[in-house]
Amino acid sequence: MKFIDEATIRVFAGDGGNGIASFRREKYEPMGGPNGGDGGKGGSIYFEADENVNTLIDYRFVKNYRAKRGENGGSSECYGARGDELVLKVPVGTVITEKQSERVLADFEVSGEKLLVAQGGKGGLGNVHFKSSTNRAPRQCTQGEPGEEFELYLELKVLADVGLLGMPNAGKSSFIRSVSAAKPKVADYPFTTLEPNLGVVRVDHQKSFVIADIPGLIEGAAEGHGLGHQFLRHLDRTKLLLHILDIAPFDESVNPVDEAIAIMGELKKYSEELFNKSRWLILNKMDLVSDIEKIKEEIIKSLEWDGKVFCISAINGQGCKELTYAIMRHIDNSKKNE
């Protein structure tokens, strides 16, 4: 299934049914009074988070959603039936924004959450409501009210504790394959990953965390180069970013320090908040270099890096176990401080 993480749609709640003006017409009741019933309420529109839905692809192709109109009132004080409500299912992690006001209506973080986004119109009143001692044969009735309508922007931000950041071919997909059951595509060419992948990393029987692998960034992503910034939204909810650096690139002219600086620049262009998240430097492919400590010291000095640094080999798992335990401790501490 193609991964779709944003869509714009219009929702139309149902109009209320009309009230009617009618009078009793029965044998031996020549002066029957008013008995016009009310119209039914229009159907409302709800959104509900569903863990079984993984993408917004349905909303990319169907743009308009309408709830049913309430039925008109009937004689004998019969009320019109209310319109059926419309429940739209979205993935957990979906943010719904009203486009005109840019107001965030919902931010679904738990499966089963349900939110009313468009209220159905009220039904009109029948003439039975207008009778009085001075108006015994009212012919007034009211029309149903229109339902609410909105243009909505749907944006999916995957729920992950840890996000992977780095250039194409830095080894992000190899790392997530090494520490979780996820099996993203791995190959020796850039942009192997074309959509976000999630993996659950189980540290022991009772503790685990979710890690997100997004397509790699390149310098100029803010101007649309490569895959641009379109997937960085999936790192917004993370508690920790792992900046994976390829210290043994295929092309010997490539400088890992320059790549790290380029990635940090693109991250800052996208979001100051994301740039200021906790970020660790992960030096990958340590199995391909002879003096890892020397390279580590040179990179830390060149970047003036004062955060945590780990050396791993994603392809054979060297150093990955120690890294996952450190991540779990960081997540536990973050939750305690919330």
Q: What is this structure's pTM?
A: 0.70
- The C-alpha atoms of residue 155 and residue 5 are separated, in whole angstroms, by 6
Q: Are residues 123 and 141 in the same domain?
A: yes
Q: What are phi and psi of 196, to 5 degrees?
A: -60, 145
Q: Which residues pair with 149 in a beta bridge?
A: 12
Tell me: do 6 and 136 sit in the same domain: yes
The residue out of 156, 181, 207 marking a domain boundary is 156
309 and 216, same structural domain?
yes
Q: Dihedral through CA 183, CA 225, CA 240, CA 181, nearest 10? A: 0
Alpha carbon 25 to its chain's center: 57
Do 168 and 75 sit in the same domain of this protein? no
* 94 touches 155 (CB < 8 A): yes
Count of domains observed in the chain: 2
- Which of 156, 190, 219 is the last residue before a domain boundary? 156
- The residues, ordered by sequence, that sit 6+ positions from 43 with a Cβ below 8 Å of its Cβ are 13, 14, 67, 68, 69, 70, 82, 83, 84, 85, 86, 120, 147
Residue 292 CB partners (closer than 8 Å, separation 6+): 247, 283, 286, 311
Over residues 294-335, the pLDDT tens digits come to 989 999 999 889 889 999 998 888 999 999 999 999 888 887
Do 242 and 96 lie in a common domain?
A: no
Of 156, 184, 208, which marks where a domain is finished?
A: 156
23 and 152: one domain?
A: yes
What CATH code is carried by the domain that includes residue 230? 3.40.50.300
Same-domain status, 244 and 125: no
**Token code pair at residue 199:** 């993996």
The per-residue pLDDT for range 172-223, each reduced to its tens digit, is 888 888 887 656 444 443 434 445 677 778 887 778 888 888 765 545 544 4
Show the domain range for 211: 162-337
| CATH number of the domain enclosing 38 | 2.70.210.12
Domain identity same for 198 and 309? yes
If one counts every other C-beta atom within 10 angstroms of the C-beta of residue 255, the result is 11
Tell whether 259 and 319 lie within a shared domain. Answer: yes
Question: How far is residue 205's CA from residue 157's CA, in Å, rounded to a whole number?
Answer: 27
CB crowding 306-332: b at 16 or more within 10 Å, else e: eeebbbbbbbeeebbeebbeebbebbe
Same domain assignment for residues 166 and 82: no
The answer on 280 and 332 residing in a single domain is yes
Whether residues 245 and 299 fall in one domain: yes
Q: Give, for all 338 residues of the chain, the pLDDT tens digit.
A: 345 678 899 999 999 999 999 988 777 766 678 889 999 999 999 999 998 887 888 898 899 999 999 999 988 889 999 999 999 999 888 999 999 898 999 889 889 999 999 999 999 999 988 988 888 889 899 999 999 999 999 988 877 888 888 887 778 888 888 887 656 444 443 434 445 677 778 887 778 888 888 765 545 544 444 444 556 777 777 889 898 988 887 777 778 888 888 888 878 887 788 888 889 999 998 888 888 889 899 999 998 898 899 999 988 889 999 999 999 998 888 877 76
